[in-house]
Amino acid sequence: MSLVEKKQIAKSYVKQTVGHRLVESLSNGSRTLEGMVGELVDNAKDAGASNVVVKFLPTEKNNYVGTVIVADNGKGMSHDELVESYKLGAERVYNTYDIGKFGLGGTLSCLQKFNIKKTVTLSEAGELLGHSYDTVVVEEKNEYCTFDLEDQETNKIWDNNAIDRSKGTVIEVTNARKDERMAKIKNNFVDYLGQTYRNDLSKGLLKINLEIDGEKISVKPSCPAGSDHKGAKTDKEALFNEQGNKIADVMMVSLFDTDLKTSSKNNLTKLCGVYFSRNDRLIAGPLLDGEGPWTGGRTRHPQVRFARVLVNFTPEHDEEFGLTNDKSSVHPNDDLQENINKMLESFFALEAKKCQQIKLNSTKEEATKSLNSGLREINHPHLNPNNKKNKPNKSSKSKSSKPKSDKSNILPFKPENKESSTWVDLIEFKDLGDSADPWVYSCLEKKIILNENIDCMKSFASMPSEYIELFRGFVACLVSANEIHKQNLQEKEATKAEHQEFMSLLFKNIKAL
């Protein structure tokens, strides 16, 4: 294109304003309140702030979030910089490690959550400046516009919220677009800020304080992967790209031996997976197969609830990890995802095996406890006449008009010519092998052994209690299990006769009942 043609086109340029409808469209994003505050804290960090205070004030009614104030002691802005910060999609020069180079910008981020934003800053020249937007004004003028604050309001905001009288910035947003309850603020933001800025907090580079309706809380650093829990086991590896260059540090954390072992299984499952941070600033997570941009590897399941991973990449590799503009996720390419999943495969497999052992031990313990309660019925006086302690009084007559079932045809479960008054003293699980019977009755040891390798025996742990505690249901389950298994019980020749006697009584009594 020639210079003449360029000049002709330049003469035809018409500056277009951003109308109210477009502003409304831009503001209807999915930004979270945490994301908005994070954007403002990022900007404070980029301005060299070492101290940030985040305040939440409730509405007069219903205890919703009414006002959010973020104050810092960083470098203030000139009037031109202040006005520029209110432009939608404003451009400015960033350093490589600035986190503010990504994101929607403080103003657009606030616009998605609140109808009014006011900024007060102390410039390096010592001038106190104030600027604002108000969506009511935008709607009236049908174009996006901002304006300077009156001196009186500027001074009031500064006097009530400034951290350092010699420098800094105060941002106040009010009139929320969506109601958010104050009750959720404390836990949400203590965790979010503590995890997102844990590195700066732990090194003393940044101090963050929360004030929630007057309650002051000092934010403590917290590792999203849980490496700061007592008993956590960590393993670190370097992640390399196809060119052999290191692009990230990967920390695998097992929480199996921590105090979280007794925590809610559902809560732990929600928090397991892979977290991503950029230069130690938390970006996304936890992610597992099928969640957001992540594919392959493990799916979310209670078996891996104690497994967490933190992938920390440097700013030079933002593009490879596909850092999104809102700093809420990453989109690594397929090759990088596959590389990460391969690295973590053995780690997740080991954690899953640990949880499977917990389930097996718990199942055996609970099942054994439940099954042994059936001994009460097995040795009941109706079935074992020698147990006279709780034998029913035959002389007593019932006043009930309902006819009682006739139990006279029930044979006694009592060994003939034996001193013992019981047939069964113990019920237990035991590994009898995959090819053995589901259950075995031992006359010599007076116990029933359930084969823990057979699936139908494992199901006892989840059976309704009435089938376990009532003898008739318990015996029916055992007999049915052997019929399904299609195998004959194997007993030593010396006890075969006694065993056959016991089995005969079982079947006769089931038939009688």
Q: What is the pLDDT of residues 121-164, one digit of tens each?
A: 999 999 999 999 998 888 888 888 899 999 999 999 999 999 99
State the Cα–Cα distance between residues 8 and 442, nearest whole angstrom: 104
What is the pLDDT at residue 380?
47
Q: Counting beta carbons within 10 angstroms of the beta carbon of residue 336, is it exposed (0 to 12), middle (13 to 18) or buried (19 or more)?
A: buried
The one-letter amino acid at 137: V
393 — pLDDT class (breaks 50, 70, 90): very low
- Output the pLDDT for position 370: 52
Of 289, 272, 281, 293, the closest CA to residue 225 belongs to: 272
* Structure-model confidence comparison of residues 472 and 243, the more confident one: 243
Tell me the HSE value of 508 on the side-chain side, using a 13 A CA sphere. 14
Banded model confidence at residue 55, pLDDT cuts 50, 70, 90: very high
Instruction: State the pLDDT at residue 416.
Output: 46
Which is more confident, 207 or 375? 207
CATH 3.30.565.10 in the chain is located at 20-218
Q: What does the pLDDT average to over 415-430?
A: 58
Block residue for tokens 């935008």: 138
Residue 6 scores a pLDDT above 70: no
pLDDT at 424 > cutoff 50: yes
- Residue 386 above 50 pLDDT? no
Q: What percent of the chain has pLDDT over 90?
A: 39
Length of the chain: 513
Query: 65-86: per-residue pLDDT in tens?
Result: 999 999 999 999 999 999 988 8
Q: What is the pTM of this model?
A: 0.66
pLDDT tens readout for residues 474-487: 554 454 444 433 33
**Band of the pLDDT at 105, cuts 50, 70, 90?**
low
Cβ-Cβ contacts under 8 Å for 412 (sequence gap 6 or more): 383, 384, 385
CATH number for the domain running over 233-355: 3.30.230
Share of the chain above pLDDT 70, in %: 65
pLDDT averaged over every residue in the chain = 76
Confidence of residue 94 (pLDDT cuts 50, 70, 90): very low
Q: Cα–Cα distance between 481 and 502 in angstroms, integer?
A: 17
Q: Tokens representing 286? A: 């936890």
Pairwise pLDDT comparison (330 vs 69), residue with the higher score: 69
**Residue 360 pLDDT > 90:** no
More confident site: 389 or 218? 218
Q: How far apart are CA 197 and CA 220, in angstroms?
A: 9
Range with top average pLDDT, 120-124, 398-402, 448-452: 120-124
Query: What is the structure's pLDDT at 407?
Result: 39
Question: What DSSP element (H or E) covers 200?
Answer: helix 198-202
Above 70 in pLDDT, residue 10?
A: no
pLDDT in tens, 180-232: 899 889 888 999 999 999 999 999 999 999 999 889 999 999 999 999 999 99
Higher pLDDT, 399 or 170: 170
Question: What are the phi and psi torsion angles at 182 (to 5°)?
Answer: -65, -30
Q: Quick one: three-class SS letters along 439-458?
A: EEEECCCCEEEEECCCHHHH
Bridge partners, residue 29, by sequence: none
CATH architecture, domain 20-218: 2-Layer Sandwich (3.30)
Distance CA 312, CA 278 (A): 6
Residue 15: predicted pLDDT: 52
What are the distances in angstroms from CA 90 to CA 86, 101, 129, 131? 8, 11, 19, 16
pLDDT of 175 over the 70 cut: yes
What residues pair up with 118 in beta bridges, in sequence order? 132, 172
Lowest-confidence region among 87-101, 164-178, 389-403? 389-403
Instruction: Over range 463-472, report the average pLDDT.
Output: 46
* Alpha-carbon distances of 443 from 280, 410, 492, 502, 504, rounded to whole Å: 66, 21, 10, 8, 14
Least confident interval from 48-57, 64-73, 321-330, 341-350: 321-330
24 in Cβ contact with 52 (< 8 Å): no
> Regarding beta strands 233-240 and 215-218, do their DSSP bridges make them parallel or antiparallel, or are they unpaired?
unpaired
Residue 390: is its pLDDT beyond 70?
no
Where does the chain hold its CATH 3.30.230 domain(s)?
233-355
User: Is residue 489 helix, strand or coil?
Assistant: coil
pLDDT interval class at 264 (50, 70, 90): confident
The stretch 239-243 carries a mean pLDDT of 88
What counts of helices (H) and strands (E) characterise the chain? 17, 16
Q: What helix, strand, coil percent values describe the chain, rounded to 5?
A: 40, 20, 40
In angstroms, the CA 377 to CA 507 distance is: 16
